Amino acid sequence: MLKLNDEKLYIGSAFNLSQRFRQHRYKVKAYNGNNKFYNYVLKYGWDKFLFGIIEYVYFPGNNINDNKKILLEREQYYLDNLVPNLNTNKIAGSMLGFKHSKENISKFGFLHRGKKYKKNNNYTIIKPNVTKETISKLKLRSKGAAVNVYNLKNELINKFSTIKKTADFVGLSPSSVSKYIKSGLL
55 found inside a domain? yes
Q: If you average pLDDT over each of 32-41, 66-75, 142-151, which comes out highest?
A: 66-75
Domain boundary among 80, 104, 128: 104
Number of domains within the chain: 2
pLDDT digits (tens, 9 = 90+) for 78-131: 988 988 888 878 888 776 656 667 777 777 666 666 655 555 556 555 556 677
**pTM score, whole prediction:** 0.51
Asked which of 104, 134, 162 is the last residue of a domain, the reply is 104
- Burial classification of residue 75, based on how many CB atoms lie within 10 Å of its CB (0-12 exposed, 13-18 middle, 19 or more buried): buried
- Where in the sequence is the domain holding 44, given as residue range(s)? 17-104
